[in-house]
């Protein structure tokens, strides 16, 4: 296994929603807060500067009052196709609430039989960083969050042209 493979983690999910809509719910803070993480929209906020070099930030507030920030810098942006974010090096924990410290997280959006295939690739700075993120629930949390995204997509209007 290569060094890159040992520092990487990939999760793929298919949605029955059109790619434009899946992109929109990833890049509109109001939508993002509705499905990101376990605490729900009443406890989650998002701020995005959707430009290369812009800030990507989601802050989840747990019932105990603790804040769980997911922060990074957008490194690459191809609308409706690809979003690349580098996790904040000062993230308070190994999983970074979705954006681990200095990890490069790439989200790809591809048409797939009338729906969308979303692929999330995380490349960690080291094998130890990947192991620490996994131990803190990174993979399990993303799978649950992407499941929540599916439920959200099923509840919102499916006409992305009207939401733009």
Q: Is residue 131 in a domain?
A: yes
CATH of the domain at 115: 3.30.530.20
Segments forming the whole domain that contains residue 8: 3-155
Q: Is residue 124 in a domain?
A: yes
**What is the total count of domains within the chain?**
1
Q: Is residue 164 in a domain?
A: no
Q: Is residue 134 in a domain?
A: yes
Q: Is residue 138 in a domain?
A: yes
pLDDT over 70 percentage in the chain: 94
Give the confidence band of 40 by pLDDT, cuts at 50, 70, 90: confident
Residue 101's nearest CA partner among 126, 118, 135 is: 126
pTM (predicted TM-score)? 0.91
How many other CB atoms are found less than 10 A from the CB of residue 71?
22
Q: Is residue 82 in a domain?
A: yes
Q: Is residue 31 in a domain?
A: yes
**Residues 127-154 pLDDT 10s:** 999 999 999 999 999 999 999 999 999 9
Q: Is residue 84 in a domain?
A: yes
Distant-in-sequence, close-in-space partners of 9: CB < 8 Å, separation ≥ 6: 121, 122, 124, 130, 133, 134, 138, 139
């Amino acid at each position: 296994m290569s060094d890159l493979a040992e520092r990487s983690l990939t999760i793929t999910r298919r949605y029955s929603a059109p790619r434009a809509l899946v992109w929109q719910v990833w890049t509109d803070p109001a939508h993002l807060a509705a499905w990101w993480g376990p605490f729900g929209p009443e406890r989650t906020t998002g701020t995005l500067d959707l430009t290369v070099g812009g800030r990507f930030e989601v802050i989840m507030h747990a019932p105990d009052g603790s804040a769980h920030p997911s922060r990074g810098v957008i490194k690459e942006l191809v609308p409706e196709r690809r979003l690349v974010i580098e996790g904040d090096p000062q993230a308070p924990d190994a999983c970074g609430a979705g954006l681990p410290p200095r990890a490069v997280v790439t989200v790809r959006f591809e048409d797939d039989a009338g729906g969308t295939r979303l692929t999330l690739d995380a490349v960690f700075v080291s094998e130890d960083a990947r192991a620490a993120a996994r131990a803190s629930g990174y993979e399990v949390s993303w799978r649950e969050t992407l499941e929540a995204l599916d439920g959200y997509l099923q509840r919102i209007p499916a006409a992305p042209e009207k939401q733009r």
